């Protein structure tokens, strides 16, 4: 999910919806040590759990729609990469658009966005709509092969601004 992002070359990156930090740990392994990095988690209980597991990561208990505002507050002009663990197929179109617009405003030209979707979510109306929105907002959108050993099976969207 994160290897293609070339995080070792990134000056700044962010993660939306890090949950308990499983993907975050892989981001940290690959991230340029000099890069600025932060995570955004809306759920307060999950934020507390995340902070206990990964206290070294700057965490904002905020809405992902505020990504560009958080970047501004952190003096980050643009992000090279954004990784998302958000449940896109559960969101209405207005929320999908609001978050994607914040991502686009925050990414550098050529910046990369990576998110995953569970296979069953792809057939839901919101999951199908999300794929179309990615194609609307990003110049390049590719899908990984199905990751069958993930439970439930998932794909990764690899998007370039």
**What average pLDDT does range 99-113 have in this prediction?**
98
Judge whether residue 127 has pLDDT over 90. no
Strands 107-118 and 154-160: antiparallel
Give the residue-averaged pLDDT of 92-100.
Answer: 97
Q: How far apart are CA 44 and CA 97, in angstroms?
A: 23
Contact of 24 with 18, CB cutoff 8 Å: yes
Segments making up each domain of the chain, as ranges = 3-160
Structure tokens of 33? 């040590």
- pLDDT band for position 40 (cuts 50, 70, 90): very high
Q: In 17-124, where does DSSP find H-type helix?
A: 22-30, 44-53, 67-73, 93-106, 119-122
> Over the range 75-95, which residues count as b (16 or more CB within 10 Å of their CB) and which as e?
ebeebbbbbbbbebbebeeeb
Query: What are the pLDDT digits (tens) for 133-156?
Result: 999 999 999 999 998 988 899 999
Amino acid 151: pLDDT: 84
Name the CATH superfamily, with its identifier, for domain 3-160: Vaccinia Virus protein VP39 (3.40.50.150)
Beta bridge partners of 13: 37, 81
């Amino acid at each position: 999910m994160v290897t293609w992002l070339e995080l070792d070359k990134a000056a700044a990156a962010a993660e939306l919806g890090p949950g308990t930090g499983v993907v975050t740990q892989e981001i940290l392994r690959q991230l340029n040590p000099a890069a600025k990095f932060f995570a955004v988690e809306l759920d307060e209980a999950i934020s507390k759990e995340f902070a206990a597991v990964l206290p070294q990561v700057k965490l904002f208990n905020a809405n992902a729609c505020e990504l560009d505002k958080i970047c501004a507050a952190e003096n980050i002009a643009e992000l090279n990469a954004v990784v998302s663990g958000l449940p896109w197929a559960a969101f209405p179109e207005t929320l999908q658009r609001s978050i994607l617009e914040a991502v686009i405003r925050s990414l550098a030209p050529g910046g990369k966005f990576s998110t995953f979707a569970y296979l069953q979510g792809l057939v839901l109306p919101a999951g199908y709509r999300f794929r179309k929105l990615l194609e609307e907002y990003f110049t390049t959108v590719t899908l990984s092969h199905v990751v069958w050993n993930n439970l439930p099976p998932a794909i990764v969207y690899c998007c370039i601004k």
